[in-house]
Chain A
């Protein structure tokens, strides 16, 4: 009986410790930084940006916080908006990657600093294609491409167009997997590329405010047919991983031959040995898989607003932008002229010729729900 009594008391004590309240207050000189991105981005900031920035700015430190995901970070934004109304400390200064339209009304209320008017010395270097309004600093880009195992697929035969890809998937059943579109951008943008394929590769058809039920059905249903048609040839007769990382894990375990992957995640996985060196990367040439830029915002009511603006300027320096390329495998937020020639040469795989960007909003909702209802269940798993 003693063993059991011991186990119960240990269990109780452990539960008690979890329930202890935790308090935090913002400090001057410590920038409260939040990210909704994956672990590789947090690692990049921890190992590269933080030491460089703190060395360049004595007395200022960075408190890097993982907000979990976009919704988690939006919740921090909502807290900051509420703090703004009560004129209290939001305990947040900087969001690594955010949409300034969220939370709704935040920009109108003045929650985010207008970067264009903030006088950043490096602002003029930003790639004109990367801007999305005046409230955010585009500093890194990433695009979905195809990662594949060169020991099983000769790079010369790697698919170069969506039609080639479909042919390859069908000719090699069980060797391709993508993740559920709402659980990570690699699968999400693969699905969006299929939607573009079903709509004559016409990006202009999709705008943030032109979703209607009829337009949605007309545009999406043919895409579901393409994807349903593929499902039987996917890994395990139509399995879908629940995230970018799990897809990379399956490629790493050599369970599949090809996956869609974020360029930065794939290159970092190769650099750290998660994916073997024999991993090949290829982008579709007829129309690339979609991608986009990550844009930072600075909170206007943060205690360390000035230091946070310095940080926003700092990440646009050549030092950090080159690291975005070499350490992160992303593409820079500044125009390519501001990156050294040898880096441009070395990373030509990820230099995009086109970066199709797909709108969010109601389209995103329709895509997520439609995929689950139309593509995922219509799979005969025992076939």
Chain B
């Protein structure tokens, strides 16, 4: 680890320091310009509100007070957190076995499984939404198949909070599997064989050898998917219930249908505050990797 290329470039050696700084200048500038500055401007615009007379602005936390006292907004926030949490949990439960299988299996079947796991990456979410209505919606394919063998109607997840959960989980499988798979690359076959030699069972190998090695990858995968799901738009918009809405559709509706940019930005800042927590998890785990 101490001899990795990155530590050589961003290290303290002054000879290459200037080149290193120049190399990072462009991405840093882009991040400041397109991400940091809009955040600062958004926060500024929501706490310095225009005065009633239309002249000047003064400090006020009114929009935040409104959000946190408005039951409708709070319901939207809590359904967003619920959806994000459930999706993250389901993704780890579904993707970890797939990743483990792909890491250790060989042959054609593994290739097919990988292809299937990566496939959602190439399906646009709007197409996915309508496909889910067709398949899982009322009188959809699943319903017809169940009915044909004499089973009762299912209660369709379409237009309930479970609709977006199913769509988002399916949509995020590729990213999660790929991140977990790269983490599993750190687990050497020798260490597993050594553990087996001293009599460790499958579960013991998973618990004591594999999971400690990939805990970081799990954290990265969870933070990535959480960031994506928290701000998801299309799937909750098409598949979810009218109310409570997830923050993505709620922000869009406040901004455009209600012509209320200030409250929409307030919602965005609040969403950002939740996301930053997971962003920090990710940054911390990357930083931990850099300096062992």
Interface residues of A (CB under 8 A from B): 1, 3-4, 7-8, 11, 14, 71, 180, 182, 235-236, 239-243, 246, 249-250, 253-255, 365, 368-369, 372-373, 376-377, 379, 381
Contact = CB atoms under 8 A, between A and B. Distances in A.
B133 A376 contact: no
B160 A373 contact: no
B133 A249 contact: yes
B86 interface: no
Given A11-B121, A246-B238, A372-B242, A236 B256 contact: no
Contacts, number: 75
Contacts of B75: 377
A242 B238 contact: yes
A372 B243 contact: yes
19 contacts: A1-B185, A4-B178, A7-B178, A14-B122, A182-B253, A236-B138, A242-B237, A242-B242, A246-B133, A253-B139, A255-B138, A365-B257, A368-B257, A368-B258, A369-B258, A372-B72, A372-B243, A372-B253, A377-B243
Nearest to B236: A242
A250 B138 contact: yes
A373 B122 CA distance: 37
B85 interface: no
Contacts of A236: 138, 155-156, 159-160
Contacts of B51: none
B118 interface: yes
B65 to A, nearest CB: 17
A7 B241 contact: no
Nearest to A240: B242
Interface string B220-256: 0000000000000000011011111100000001001
Nearest to A378: B243
A236 B237 CA distance: 18
Give the contact-size bracket for chain B.
35 or more
A372 to B, nearest CB: 6
Interface in B133-151: 133, 137-140
Contacts of A253: 137-140
A373 B245 CA distance: 11
Contacts of B63: none
B72 A4 contact: no
Identify the 9 closest CB pairs spanning chains A and B, nearest first.
A255-B138, A376-B243, A239-B159, A376-B242, A240-B242, A377-B243, A253-B139, A182-B257, A255-B139
B241 to A, nearest CB: 7
A8 B185 CA distance: 15
B215 interface: no
B121 to A, nearest CB: 7
Nearest to B255: A71
A365 B256 CA distance: 10
A3 B111 contact: yes
A373 B253 CA distance: 13
Contacts of B191: none
B181 interface: yes
B285 interface: no
A376 B71 CA distance: 13
Nearest to A369: B258
Contacts of B7: none
A180 B242 CA distance: 7
Nearest to B121: A11
Contacts of B72: 372-373, 377
Given A4-B182, A249-B133, A372-B253, 13 more contacts: A1-B185, A180-B242, A235-B138, A239-B158, A240-B159, A242-B242, A249-B137, A253-B138, A255-B139, A368-B258, A372-B242, A372-B243, A381-B241
Contacts of A255: 137-139
B258 A4 contact: no
